[in-house]
Structure 1
Amino acid sequence: MLPSLKRAWQNPLTAYYLALVLLIMIAWFARGFLSLALFTIIFIYLANAAVMGIERHLHLGHLLATLLVYLIFLGILVAAFAQIIPPLVSEVENLPHAVDQLIQTYPQLETSAKKLIKNLTQNASVISNSKTLFTSGIGKLSRLSSGVETIVLAFFFSFIFNLTKAQLQRFVHAFTKSRFAKLFVPMGDLILSFVQIFGTVIETQLLICSINTVLMVLGLWILHMPSLLILGIAVFFLGLIPVAGVLISLIPLTIIAFVTGGVLRVLEVIALVILVHLFESYFLHPRLMANATNLPIFVTFITLIVSEQIFGTWGLIVGVPLVAFFLKVFDVQLVTPKRPPHHPKKTNPTVE
């Protein structure tokens, strides 16, 4: 019995799959910190790529390059919010005036609204449902504030990671020389493999957000919406949030649309958002994700649907890299077929 166990332990595949099982167990028990871990990985990957690019092109030291990258990122973030918030507040202040103009144009709306409010206040079920809706709204606001806190904390963790990367590399390398090196080495390889695949997916998501932003700005320009630069910045940053970003972006878009063009423009903007979202969900996202991971488009499409049901919003980001990761773990080689080289037909030379 002992010799067979010893031979099994000496087999590299045993340690490899044991490391995989341990990582899955750790991820399951730490699932409450999933958002923090994923946001931290995203920030680390993007910032590390930027730092390495600055070190290579500007020949700066690691400390200066890291500080420069995070200062630039914070500057862009502050400038974006400084451009978005004041016009949005101004439009919200003009909202009551727009409502008054709408009532003056359509007086029957005021009468219908009063009847509707009277019927709703006399309905006990509506009152009960409104209390439930209010409570759930407070809960969603608390989760939103918790999400902002998670993003800030992940940003801080990524900054510390990139700042002390050399020290962390020495710390991790010490595990490869320990008594259980046969277990720690494959664990490190698996983590690195997933981060690389996940990073590729994040780069693809940034490309998707850029294309969506261009399409949205073009559509808003056709609808004669004002402040296109500000709306484009808001759409891009909110587009980084799967599914929920589209719903959140509707708030400033509909407010500005109602103030500047009334109900008709609001309906036009909602139709534009639906069209762009459908284009992203059913064509752009599956196709680009399939190209990034070499998965067939059908498999990518099914993966997005199933992972969204299992993992929620994060499934749209995590699902595809997880499938690609496990295919790599099981040594499934996905190679895109190359087209055979085209050789022009040789014509027989004419005999003169």
Structure 2
Amino acid sequence: MVEKDKEGLGQDVGVPIRHDSKSAVLTKDIHEIAMFFGRFILIVAGIVVTGFILKYIWAGLLPVILALLVATVMVPVAHFLRNKLRFPSALATLTTMVGFFAIIGGVIAAMVAVVSAQGEELVNQARQGFYELSKLTQNLPVEIPVERLDEAVTEITGMVKNQASNIAGGVMSGFSTVSSIVIGLIIMLFLSFYITKDGEKFLPWLRKYTGSPLGWHLTELGSRIWKTLSGFIQTQALVALVDAIFIGLGLWALQVPLALVIAVVTFFAGFIPLIGAIVAGLLAVSIALVSNGLTNALLALLLVILVQQFEGNVLQPLLQSKAMGLHAAIVLLSVTVGGGLAGIVGAFLAVPVAATIAVVLRYHGVTAALRAGEVDPEEVDIVTPGDQNEHGSVANKIRELYRELAKESYDPAHEVVATGNHAK
């Protein structure tokens, strides 16, 4: 016997069987649950298949992604040379590329020279420091065998070597062989050149073959992704440059060896948000400890903390917060996942990829809000420049697209709503 429920659930309803719709309601619920889990399984399967495909095309895809990121830095300079100094398009692009890679090559050459000049001295200082440490342990109340200390030093040295090899392997994880590295670099150079020179022609070409309205959606979405990527790279470069200058000057004032090298490492590590700054700071403090002792290391640590506080509380709120629009937890998770999948290259690309996905989701949210009648199409921001083409203003065409979406507003009155035993 079933006990009566105080809400009346499960009791027999005094209506004819043909009017009892509870079975239909339960069937509909089961159907919707099955549809939800079916879509979820398809989405997961799609992600798995995409990852499987990316595994095999990664060596070819990586130069394309790197070329896009390099182009975000070079495009403003090339535009300045074309528009202000009246350089021909190809010459402006070539000049920008030569200057860009000359700066990077010069910095790397300077690093190699400094490391060659000071590296041996630093190693000798490290050995002397460990020797002094072994002498200090003899005066401690707890006896520490010198053999154990030597074993610990050996283990630490081996760990550092292993990490160095892992870092080197992570840098090259996007490529399989030396030949693929060379081919990838050549492809990246050519793609960077053409994206910088003819990038503005890509979207009109895309609209030509996709038609409207898809072409105009892709135009606005592509413009939003480009703005986000260029904003991320440029602001990250500015923040990393400020960090490198202040930390480099501070370490030079503290007479820490390899101050220039640490400054350069700090700059490049700055392109990996959160984690890069920590790694660069640990490197600076470690070298200061080995070379100049505990007091100097503490001063170096204080310097790194002050610079990082200035970056986190002043520079990032002013420059970076609007560039990506990602929560710090998402940034950290992206860097962790990207680093685990593809080493340093993955950690570097993780945030731009996450920002791109966020842009796509936000744009879908905008179009969904337009179709739902939640926003006025005249109030939606348009990122695509309002240049003229053969059909009029590009921005006006996108605004017209938004107006058409708003006309298709979803009307809930057209839905069938079950109320009690009746359908309206």
- CA distance in 1 between partners of 2:198 and 2:297 (Å): 54
Q: Is 1:269 paired with 2:300? A: yes
Which aligned pairs between 1:246-265 and structure 2 lie closer than 5 A?
Answer: 246=277, 249=280, 253=284, 256-258=287-289, 260-265=291-296
326, 329, 332: which is aligned to 2:361?
A: 326
Rate the CA distance shift 1:107–1:120 in 2: closer, same or farther, 3 A.
closer
2:147 aligned with 1:115: yes
Of structures 1 and 2, the larger Rg is shown by 2
How many angstroms does 1:93 deviate by? Answer: 0.7
Flag the 1:231–1:173 CA change in 2: closer, same or farther, 3 A.
same
Conserved? CA contact 1:290–1:300, under 8 Å: no
Task: Say whether 1:97 aligns with 2:124.
Answer: yes
Aligned to 1:49: 76
Matched, 1:145 2:172: yes
- Distance change (3 Å), C-alpha of 1:285 and 1:324: farther
TM-score (norm 2): 0.55
Q: Which runs of 5+ in 1 are unaligned?
A: 1-20, 336-352
2:106 corresponds to: 79
CA gap of 1:178–1:119, structure 2 versus 1, over 3 A, is closer
Does structure 1 retain, via aligned residues, the 8 Å contact 2:64–2:191?
A: no
Q: CA deviation at 1:48?
A: 1.8
CA contact (8 A) 1:88 1:256 kept: no
Match of 2:191 among 161, 180, 192: 161
- The corresponding residue for 2:372 is none
Query: Is 1:235 aligned with 2:270?
Result: no
**Counterpart residue identity of residue 208, structure 2:** K
User: Identity across aligned pairs (percent)?
Assistant: 19
Equivalence map 1:262-301=2 (5 Å): 262-274=293-305, 276-277=307-308, 280=311, 284-285=315-316, 288-292=319-323, 295=325, 300-301=327-328
User: Would the alpha carbon gap of residues 281 and 324 (structure 1) be closer, same or farther in structure 2, given more than 3 Å must change?
Assistant: farther
User: How much does 1:97 deviate?
Assistant: 3.2
2:82–2:88 contact (8 Å) kept in structure 1: yes
SS at match of 2:99: helix
Rounded to whole Å, the distance in 2 between the matches of 1:278 and 1:179 is: 48
Q: Label 1:30 to 1:59 Cα distance change in 2 as closer, same or farther (>3 A).
A: farther
Q: 1:88–1:252: 8 Å Cα contact kept in structure 2?
A: no
Structure ranking higher in helix proportion: 1
Q: Which residue of 1 aligns with 2:115?
A: 88
1:62 maps to 2:85: no
The amino acid across from 1:160 in the alignment is F
Q: Deviations over 1:321-347 (max 9, x none)?
A: 543553244227799xxxxxxxxxxxx
Q: Deviations over 1:266-324 (max 9, x none)?
A: 3443454355446545764355322446x5xxx73444345445555344444445435
Instruction: Label 1:260 to 1:334 Cα distance change in 2 as closer, same or farther (>3 A).
Output: farther
Q: Check the 8 A contact 2:288/2:297 in 1, yes or no.
A: yes
For these two proteins, the number of residue pairs brought into alignment is 304
Q: Contact 1:215–1:276 (CA<8 Å) still a contact in 2?
A: yes
CA contact (8 A) 1:36 1:153 kept: no
**Conserved? CA contact 2:63–2:187, under 8 Å:** no
Q: Which residue of the partner structure matches residue 190 of structure 1?
A: 221
Which whole-Å CA distance do the structure 1 matches of 2:311 and 2:137 have between them?
39
**More relative contact order, 1 or 2 (CA 8 Å, 6+ apart):** 1
d(CA) in 2 for partners of 1:93, 1:255? 16
Aligned residue number for residue 212 of structure 1: 243
Q: Counterpart of 1:161 in structure 2: which amino acid?
A: L
Summarize the Cα distance change of 1:155–1:257 in structure 2 as closer, same or farther, 3 Å threshold.
same
State whether structure 2 residue 236 is matched by structure 1 residue 199. no
Name the structure 2 match of 1:339: none
Residue in structure 1 matched with residue 16 of structure 2 by the alignment: none
Aligned residue identity for 1:190: L
Runs of at least 5 residues in structure 2 that lack an aligned partner in the other structure: 1-42, 139-143, 340-346, 370-378, 382-424
Are the aligned partners of 1:250 and 1:270 in contact in 2 as well (CA < 8 Å)? yes
Q: 2 CA distance for matches of 1:136 and 1:238?
A: 16
Let me know the Cα RMSD of the aligned residues.
Answer: 4.6
1:238, 1:245 within 8 Å by CA — same for their partners in 2? yes
Give, in angstroms, the shift of residue 252 of structure 1.
6.3
CA shift in 2, pair 1:236/1:334, >3 Å: farther
